[in-house]
Structure 1
Amino acid sequence: MKLERLRIQGLRCLTEVELSLSDGLHVLIGPNGAGKTSVLEAAFLLSHGRSFRSGAREALLQRGENALSVFGEWRHADGHAVRLGLGRNGSRWEARIDGEKGSLGQLVQACAVVCFEPGSHALIAGAADERRRYLDWGVFHVEHDFLLAWRRYQRALKQRNSLLRSQPVAEASLFLPWEAELAQTANLIDTWRRRYLDDLLPHLQSQAHSLLPELGALDCRYRRGWSDERDLGEQLAEQRGRDLARGHTTAGAHRADWSIGFEHAPLREHLSRGQEKLTALSCLLAQASLHAERRGEWPLMCLDDLASELDQAHQEAVLAQLQASGAQILVTGTDLPAPLAALPAHVFHVEHGRILPAGPA
């Protein structure tokens, strides 16, 4: 999948920019704060419906403005082209597909972007919700019914949590339909997540062996969010009293997590910060590789501030792999990373929210 044109208005420091892209490698160079990362963020928004940066959604808006828009023209490997847009006016978001209104789910389904950036180590060292988002994005692109089941689950979870916080305490009979819905949809989500991780594991092992051979064999551990020996509906009924005291549901698919262990570093705490980054990168490359295997095309690959995140040897290894795959690649940096000096690349200078093509490297 290739992004052929990207237009951004009102996103952070980017007032109005347009970027035409080709096949292969593209490098955005400029000082800190110039807007390089925001270009990657714009493409990521179309693919995920959210930013990879932490913080409130209001931070996406250019200061003093209440609207932003991102538009991209994409072409699939089979030649099919699609025009995708995401806009925000005030607090309202609107997705458009080929000029027609669409849902955010349809937008995210229509393109794929994988991004490695300075916050990616949270996939290994951060909270479980980051790992669930990673997992569910992959499942979403494989299982067409996932989004419907996930929405049903979230609705039931919201209703049960509301009952847990109600005063006076709600009758037990009011919990039963929502707990049944939670159990049914959680089982579906759990089945799909397990299947996806099983398919992902060989790709993870291959990537980790390439980037972290000193750590030995890799294994992935998954926890579904409730007891493996119990039906979720029964468990929710049994621990309702505890959940009433806490005011929220403490078991279910929203509590799932997964982790990676190595032969010579079985626990996350055994990894250095650099090894955490390389493990996260292995996860992202594995996800992109599996996506390419399933869909017949690689996602757009974004590497933010590459030179500061990886040493030169790992930069060279990752870029060589991606170039061999035929993936379209966007890389940012304050200067041209040394491993790129000898590679054919389209270079752009980014200054004060403006993007100027500098020609091939």
Structure 2
Amino acid sequence: MSLTALRLHCFRNIADASIEPAPGINWLAGRNGSGKTSVLEAIHVLARGRSFRSGSIQSVIQDGATTLRVVARREQPDRLLGVERGRREWRGRIDGKETRRVSEFARALPLVLVQPDSHQLVDGGPDVRRAFLDWGLFHVEHDYLDHWRRYARLLRQRNAALKQGRGDAMLDALEPAMAEAAERVDRKRERYVQRLAASAARVLGAVDLRVPDIVLEYRPSGDEQEGYACALRASRSRDREQGFTRIGPHRADLSLRADGRLAAPRLSRGQQKLVALLLKLAELDALQSGGDRPLLLLDDPVSELDRMHFDQLWGWLLDQDLQAWIAAVEHPPGAPAAMFHVEQGEIRRMV
């Protein structure tokens, strides 16, 4: 799957631009602030409904405009996707039909993003790693979203009951279904982590990333032997004091160990970036092995990696059957790539 056309309107400093990308590597070169990363950001907004650079869509809309627009055509199969975002409103169309579900865009446009703060997968909080697992599962197991939504709905109901001081009868009614949903989510995450570990091993066999021996393990929040039903009942008193549910998949984590020890405190920032890159490429491999052909978005890998590791990544990319979008200050290292020059919001194809 690849994009055959991309159009941006009032997206940061890009007033209006149309791009006809190549099916392989597309290299966006330009000075800092020229708008090259905004192209990657626009693809992300189209696919995920939000920016990876800002929590506010208002900061993404061009100064003086009220809305932004991103439209793309993808192939295999051919589909036309478009979103229009204002400060409060959101409109989306897929093949001319309106949709309000971001999940439909995410399903139609799977992607893997590698950016400068990807190291947060290693040294960030558990919420970063849970989101990483959940996005991968969303594409690999298409019923996962239904299970997660069911669990999230029951979690909200239990939390509301705790805050309102509702009696045991209400919790007795909620917790069996919540425990079942929690166990389904955990089982799917555990299987996916095993799949991710196998993908990481394949990536390391093809890309010489100088990282310590990394072990991935899913860490549920709760006693696996006791089970969630018993654990939720046992935690009621403490949960009432806190006003929220303290155990469950919403508190789980992906454990990363390097040479047998926790990775974050052991690794340097440079090593953390390499481990994060490994995880992202493993995610890409897992999605491809599941039948998807995601886009790969790489924001400034030239400055994030030393020359040896960038050369390793570049050689691997040239062998992949995928569409990659790379934003960088420098020009590509003399290998096949569609070259775009970005300057002050203007995008011009060079090759």
Query: Structure 1 length normalisation: TM-score?
Result: 0.91
Structure 1 residue identity aligned to 2:96: G
Equivalent of 2:320 in 314, 317, 325: 325
Aligned length: 349
Which SS does the other structure have where 2:198 is aligned?
A: helix
Please state whether the residue corresponding to 1:114 is helix, strand or coil.
strand
1:193-232 pair list within 5 angstroms: 193-208=189-204, 210-213=207-210, 215=212, 217-232=213-228
- Secondary structure of the residue aligned to 2:148 is helix
Q: Is residue 278 from structure 1 mapped to residue 274 from structure 2 by the alignment?
A: yes
Instruction: Provide the C-alpha distance between the structure 2 equivalents of 1:71 and 1:28, rounded to a whole number of angstroms.
Output: 18
Structure 2 residues not aligned, in runs of 5+: none
Match for residue 240 of structure 1?
Answer: 236
Query: In the alignment, is the contact (CA less than 8 A) between 1:124 and 1:259 conserved in 2?
Result: no
Sort the Cα spacing of 1:47 and 1:263 in 2 relative to 1 into closer, same or farther, 3 A. same
Offset, 1:266: 4.8
Given candidates 114, 117, 129, the residue that maps to 1:116 is 114
- Matched residue type, 2:72: G
* Further displaced range: 143-152 or 60-69: 60-69
Q: Deviations for 1:283-315, whole angstroms, at most 9, x for unmatched residues?
A: 1111111211221x5321111111110111111
Matches for 1:242-321 after TM superposition, within 5 Å: 242-263=238-259, 266-295=262-291, 298-321=293-316
Q: C-alpha displacement at 1:64, in angstroms?
A: 4.2
Q: 1:234 to 1:63 in 2, by over 3 A?
A: farther
Partner of 1:354: 346
Match of 1:128 in 2: 126
Contact (CA 8 Å) 2:148, 2:185: kept in 1 or not? yes
By how many angstroms is 1:68 displaced?
2.0
Secondary structure at the aligned position of 2:254 is classed as strand
Query: Which of 79, 84, 87 is residue 81 of structure 2 equivalent to?
Result: 84
Inter-partner Cα distance in structure 1 for 2:87 and 2:49: 16
Tell which deviates more after alignment, 126-135 or 7-16: 7-16
Cα displacement (A) at 1:317: 0.9
Deviation at 1:72?
1.2
| Distance in 1 separating the partners of 2:261 and 2:222 | 26
Cα displacement (A) at 1:128: 1.1
Aligned-residue offset at 1:73: 0.8
Task: Kindly provide the amino acid, as one letter, of the partner of residue 191 in structure 2.
Answer: R
Question: Aligned pair in 2 of structure 1 residues 111, 123: CA closer, same or farther (>3 Å)?
Answer: same
* CA displacement, residues 41-93 of structure 1 (integer Å, 9 cap, x when unaligned): 111223333322253343333334432222111112xxx21111222234232
The answer for the alignment partner of 1:345 in structure 2 is: 337
CA–CA distance in structure 2, aligned partners of residues 57 and 183 of structure 1? 36
Amino acid at match of 1:352: Q
CA contact 2:72–2:80 (8 Å) conserved in 1: yes
**Quick one: distance in 2 between partners of 1:152 and 1:60?**
32
Secondary structure of 2:224's counterpart equals coil
Task: Select between 189-198 and 179-188 the one with higher mean Cα deviation.
Answer: 179-188
Instruction: Give secondary structure in 2 for the equivalent of 1:32.
Output: coil
Rounded to whole Å, the distance in 2 between the matches of 1:36 and 1:327 is: 20
Pair 270,198 (structure 1): closer, same or farther in 2 beyond 3 Å: same
The 8 Å contact of residues 5 and 73 in structure 1, kept in 2 or not, is answered as yes
Paired residue secondary structure (1:15): strand
Aligned equivalents of 2:338 and 2:6: distance in 1? 15
In the alignment, the residues of structure 2 paired with residue 201 and residue 43 of structure 1 have an alpha-carbon distance, to the nearest angstrom, of 28
Secondary structure at 2:5's aligned position in 1? strand
Q: Is the 8 A contact 1:30 1:333 kept in 2?
A: yes
User: Is the 8 Å Cα contact of residues 54 and 60 (structure 2) preserved in structure 1?
Assistant: no
2:19 corresponds in structure 1 to 19
Distance 2:95 2:204 in 1: 39
After the TM superposition, which of the residue ranges 261-270 and 143-152 deviates more from structure 2?
A: 261-270
Greater displacement, 116-125 / 345-354 = 345-354
Residue 6 of structure 2: aligned partner: 6
Report if aligned partners of 1:28, 1:331 keep a CA contact under 8 Å in 2.
yes
- 1:41 counterpart residue number: 41
TM-score (norm 2): 0.93
2:174 paired with 1:175: no
Q: Which segment is superposed worse, 6-15 or 311-320?
A: 6-15
**Structure 1 residue 218: Cα displacement:** 2.6
1:58 aligns with 2:58: yes
Preserved CA contact (<8 Å) 2:209 2:309: no
Distance across 2 between alignment mates of 1:248 and 1:65: 41
In structure 1, what is the equivalent of residue 161 of structure 2?
Answer: 163
Contact 2:232 2:247 in 1 (8 A): yes
* More displaced stretch, 280-289 vs 263-272: 263-272
Asked if the contact 2:13–2:35 (Cα under 8 Å) also holds between the matched residues in 1, the reply is yes
Cα distance in 2 between the residues matched to 1:242 and 1:222 = 25
CA 1:211–1:64 in structure 2 vs 1: closer, same or farther (change >3 Å)? farther
Q: Which residue type is aligned with residue 110 of structure 2? A: A
Q: Which letter does structure 1 place at the counterpart of 2:228?
A: L
